[in-house]
A = this chain, B = another copy of it.
């Protein structure tokens, strides 16, 4: 049994923390909106007033918050994680954030003589609920070995990708791929509708061949039902794409497809749909909805 701190109890974090608790670990939790911790606290988790307090009481501190600036505040703020760490602390940031910030956290941790990992996840709300996430880890072997059994509480696959930042880079590669499946999927549906095809038959037919992909299989049926509820927020996908493009700029890799997707998701968020799921991208094709 490990004393696990968990900071960030949104759609993803809540499910992940519950799996850790169900595995028998002692939980110390913090969230900006306290009410989201009620269920976990009711199940025995200890509420902490600040990220610092979480770090003081737990040995492994996991964080999954919204944006890189939130990660920065949670780790480096006056009441942040680094203000509370002790010799045995292992820090694991599960947020999809920048490789640059992951490296900065890793360097600060090293200065303090403690371990840290970047470990963003993929698989959405359902993956978190069913403990089937894919977790992409950056950091050192020793930290990975210690973290692996804990991460497996909510992951189907946990992989060490390389040094600090490599987890975030892998997640960026993942989101760059999804940029293509999401734009392709909505264009496929918009075209098929305009061509007067039966959309369910189209999904059944093209979904089994060379066009098959996870986005089409999972979001296609939701779109046909008019279900735009968030498995994954459109605004968070836009955040991820902006990080990917920023990093790609530093690496001098042109990503025209991801750039296009970012422009479209920006337009979607500017139109007030940022709190919808990523499948709401189809709303830009007004004749469709």
Contact = CB atoms under 8 A, between A and B. Distances in A.
Interface of A: 99, 122-124, 127, 133-134, 136, 156-157, 159, 161-162, 166, 169-170, 172-185, 187-192, 194-198, 201-202, 204-206, 208-216, 218, 244, 247-248, 251-258, 260-261, 264, 285, 287
A223 B21 CA distance: 43
B201 A258 contact: no
A3 B184 CA distance: 40
Given A184-B181, A213-B213, A194 B136 contact: no
B170 A177 contact: no
Contacts of A260: 256-257, 260
A120 to B, nearest CB: 11
Contacts of A197: 161-162, 166, 169-170, 173
B206 A174 contact: yes
Given A181-B184, A258-B187, A264-B256, A173 B161 contact: no
Contacts of A136: 205-206
